[in-house]
Amino acid sequence: MALIIDGKKIAAGIREELKTEVAALKAHLGDVPALAVVLVGDNPASATYVRMKGKGCEEAGIRSIQHTLPGSATQEELLALVDRLNGDPAVSGILVQLPLPGQIRESAVLNRINPVKDVDGFHPVNVGKMVAGDEDCFFPCTPYGCQILINSVVKDLKGRHVVVVGRSNIVGKPIANLMVQKNRSANCIVTICHTAAPDIGYYTRQADILVVAAGKAGMITGDMVKEGAVVIDVGANRVPDPADPSKTMQVGDVNFDEVAPRASAITPVPGGVGPMTIAMLLKNTVKAFRLQRGL
């Protein structure tokens, strides 16, 4: 049976380190990093994520600032708020919770955030720096967390074959770019496969490290994974709970019961990649504070 990669435990360790670092910054400067989170509308899932991010900030000693706009807010109103936050020296990082209502173009908003405050890592400047191998930027939080999980179980990645299922700008493309870089945390051979592949299993069976971010419950089955592979499941799908059909449960993109006996290590869902995303957001916020202060 595979080693279960405990993302919750690893994320807790990162958050404790950040708590110590923030306390030291406060003692030295009399100030702490601040994260401004913008929520537009009343999407329940988005509201939950925002609360979790606020709690994470509080526990780490980071100041959390929440701005909530009605679902009817215009793109111009949201951009005006982003501009104000960009110009506020007390704000270290800005996060606009996605998805946004249909009347607002997400790219226009994300591109408006000052790159030095873009702790989500979605601004084209940060994306470009990441692709170029420049670490003076912010990596998208979920892929960044995936890389740390991989590093926790594979100490020498040189020449390992990473196969990524999914090509989103949020996970698939960034993790591929992170893992191909020539550094100790990566240096891998990388393949990206997606819905255009006639046989995804042909590629996944070649993976030493398989990262699945396709958004389809249980799509990776046991016969699609090489014996001894490390499997990182980014999926977070809601499906009916077999024990109570009136309820739902969270499952990944990997059929855990089939894949775990073949893998050498695997992330569970929940408790794997999910906790890492907020931990890396907090880490990026502290990094933004340091960059802005020239530390």
DSSP β-ladder status, 34-40 and 93-96: parallel
pLDDT of res. 120: 97
The pTM of this model reads 0.95
pLDDT of res. 245: 85
The rounded distance, in Å, linking the Cα atoms of 76 and 114 is 17
Please tell me the CATH code under which domain 141-274 is placed. 3.40.50.720
The rounded distance, in Å, linking the Cα atoms of 147 and 160 is 13
Backbone φ and ψ for 179, nearest 5 degrees, come out as -80, -15
| 30-114 matches 141-274 in fold | yes
The rounded distance, in Å, linking the Cα atoms of 120 and 179 is 18
Task: List beta partners, residue 190.
Answer: 162
Cβ proximity of 264 and 226 under 8 Å? no
Q: Which of 123, 125, 130 is CA-nearest to residue 106?
A: 123
pLDDT by residue for the chain (295 residues), tens digit each?
899 999 999 999 999 999 999 999 999 999 999 999 999 999 888 999 999 999 999 999 999 999 999 999 999 999 999 999 999 999 999 999 999 999 999 999 999 999 999 999 999 999 999 999 998 999 999 999 999 999 999 999 999 999 999 999 999 999 999 999 999 999 999 999 998 999 999 999 999 999 999 999 999 999 999 999 999 999 999 999 988 988 999 999 999 999 999 999 999 999 999 999 999 999 999 999 999 999 8
Helix (H, G, I), strand (E, B) or coil at 243: coil
DSSP β-ladder status, 237-241 and 244-251: antiparallel
Backbone φ and ψ for 20, nearest 5 degrees, come out as -65, -40
Q: Cα dist. 276→7, 55, 145, 149 in Å?
A: 6, 14, 5, 8
Please tell me the CATH code under which domain 30-114 is placed. 3.40.50.10860
Residues taking part in catalysis: 53, 97, 120
- The residue ranges of every structural domain in the chain are 30-114, 141-274
Q: Which of 101, 142, 100, 104 is CA-nearest to residue 120?
A: 142
Residue type for position 277? T
pLDDT digits (tens, 9 = 90+) for 43-76: 888 999 999 999 999 999 999 999 999 999 999 9
- In terms of C-beta density within 10 A (0-12 exposed, 13-18 middle, 19 or more buried), how is residue 24 classed? exposed
Tell me how far the alpha carbon of residue 255 is from its chain's centroid: 21
